[in-house]
Chain A
Amino acid sequence: MANYSTSEFRSGMKVMLDGDPCSILDNEFVKPGKGQAFNRVKLRNLKTGRQWERTFKSGETLESADVMDREMEYLYNDGEFWYFMEPETYEQHQADAAAVGDSHLWLKENERCDITLYNGTPLSVAPPNFVELEIVETDPGLKGDTATGGTKPAKLSTGAVVKVPLFLSTGEVIRVDTRTGEYQNRVSKS
C-alpha cells in the first residue's frame, strides 16, 4: 500500500491509523514562525464513525487504507448476515451487523445502497437517502383527517417505526428520509 505524507493529506483520503481505516476530513498546517511544524488533521474512524482531531509532526506518513465505496444491490438477510451484489459483476458480499448498523431499518430488497469495502469486506452500509416502504402495522386511519397535523407511530415492512399522519392505514406505501427517519409523503393507496 502507498504511504501518504502530511503534506499530501486531502479530504476524502483513506488512511490506516491505530489499526483502523479512517477517512481524512480536513488537514490544517500549523507552524510557529520559529519552531516545529504540525498538521492538525480531522479524521473519521470508518469502523466506529467517531470523528476527532489528531496532531502530527509535519512530514510524518500514514499508510493508505484499502477502502473503496461501491454501489450495490441489497439482496436478502439470512438472520445473521445481509447480502449485497455488485450490479456489474454479480459478485456477492456479506455484511455483518456491525457493518450494517442501523441501516438495516431502511434496507429494501433490490434497492441500491452505498457499501464501503475495507480489504474487500463491507465496513459500512449507507441506504439511499429516500426509500419507499409499506406500513405493516398502525392504528386505523382517520378518514379525511389530512389537516389536523396529528401523528401516530407506524411500523414499516423493514421493522422501522416512523411517525406518520393520522389518515394513513396499514398497507399504504410511504416515502421516508433515511437520514432523519422522517415521513415525507404517501406514495400509493392500498
Chain B
Amino acid sequence: MDWRPAADLAAIRQRSELLATVRRFFAARNVLEVETPLLCRSGITDPSIEPFTASCDNGAAPRYLQTSPEYAMKRMLAAFGEPIFQLARAFRDGELGARHNPEFSLLEWYRPGFDHHRLMAEVAELVSAVLGERRTEKYSYRELFQQRLSLDPFTASTAELASVARRHLDPGDLSGDTDLWLDLLMSHVLEPQLGRGTLCFIYDYPASQAALSRIVPAADASVGQRFELYVEGVELANGYCELTDAAEQRQRFERDNALRLTRGQSERPVDEYLLAALEHGLPNCSGVALGIDRLLMLVTGASNIKDVLAFDWQRC
C-alpha cells in the first residue's frame, strides 16, 4: 500500500495553473461557469460506456454517477440559453489504463449559435493557450480513412475493413459490425499518428457514430456533425453540433437500449428530464468535452495518467 500521492508536487502545481488558465479563458469570453449534480436517476444509454451505480437509503432507486455532465448542462442551455462551461468529475466503470482512470476530470462547454467548425476553432485557441501555439490540421473522417488507408469508411464492407485491419495488426478471431472495425482502425492504426506537433481535428463521422450530434444528409451518406481533437496521438476532446430534436433523441436512446439487449447488457432508464428540456427547446449550439487529465499529461510529458493524478485508482 502506498499512501503517498502518485503525482509529484510539480504536476499538482501544473494542474492548478491549468485550471486557472481555463477559468481565465472563459471569463474573458463571458462563458459562465456552472456546476451540476454527480448523482442522477438516469445514466447513459451508450452501450460502450458503463456508469457506476450508487445505492440509496429507504429502498429508493439507485442513482448513477455521471459519465459526463452533458445532459444536465443541456437542461441549463434549454432554460437559459447562455454559453456555459464546467470543470467536472466524471466516472466510467472499467476504464483503466495508461490514459484512463475510472474517475477523471472533464472540461465541458456549450456555445449557443456556434456550429462545430466554429467550436473547433475555439477548442484550438484554448489548447494553444495551454500548450503554446500549434498549427491546426482538419480532416473529415472520410478524408482521413481515404488518405491513410485508401478506404472509404462510409461504403467499405465489414470484410474489407477487417482485411485492412489484419494487414496492420493481429485481431485474432475478433468479430463485429462495421463500427467495431472502424473503431479498431481508428484507435490502433490512425490515432497514434494524429496531431504530431499539431492540433488535429477529425470531423463529420458516420451517422452510426454520431452519438448526440446532429445528423445531416450528405451527397451519398449522411454524416454526424461530430468532431474529435487528437494531439500527439492522444484523443483529447469530443464535440458535437448538438442534436436538438427531442423525438430523434428519444429514438437514439431507444436504439442504444435495443443494441444493449442484443449484446446481453441490461436496458438503461432514459433521461426524461433531458427529453423534456429538448421538447421545450434547446438553442442551436455546439458543445465539447475535453479530458483535463490528458491535457495535463501533454503539459507535463507524462506517459501514464496516474502521474498527473494526486491519487489514482489504485491509491484510493
Residues of A within 8 A of B (CB): 7, 17-18, 28-38, 40, 52-58
Contact = CB atoms under 8 A, between A and B. Distances in A.
Contact of A54 (B48, B94, B170, B191): B170
A55 B188 contact: yes
Nearest to A43: B170
Nearest to B289: A33
Given A32-B235, A36-B183, A54-B172, 20 more contacts: A7-B96, A17-B172, A18-B172, A28-B97, A31-B100, A32-B183, A32-B187, A32-B191, A34-B209, A34-B238, A35-B186, A36-B179, A36-B180, A36-B184, A37-B95, A38-B184, A38-B187, A52-B170, A55-B172, A57-B180
Dominant SS at the A interface?
A: strand
A52 B170 CA distance: 8
21 contacts: A28-B97, A29-B99, A30-B187, A31-B95, A31-B100, A32-B235, A33-B238, A34-B226, A35-B187, A37-B48, A37-B94, A38-B183, A38-B184, A38-B187, A40-B169, A40-B188, A52-B170, A53-B169, A54-B170, A54-B171, A55-B169
Contacts of B48: 31, 34-37
Given A35-B48, A35-B179, A36-B179, A30 B188 contact: yes
Contacts of B235: 32-33
Interface in B48-101: 48, 94-100
Q: Which 3 A-B pairs have the closest CB atoms?
A: A29-B97, A35-B183, A36-B183
B211 interface: yes
B312 to A, nearest CB: 14
Interface string B160-171: 000000000111
Please tell me the size bucket of the interface on B: 20 to 34
A29 B99 CA distance: 8
A111 to B, nearest CB: 38
A57 B176 contact: yes
Interface in B295-310: none
B95 A55 contact: no
Contact of A29 (B100, B188, B191): B100
B254 interface: no
B171 A55 contact: yes
A29 B96 contact: yes
B46 interface: yes
Contacts of B186: 32, 35
Nearest to B96: A29
B247 interface: no
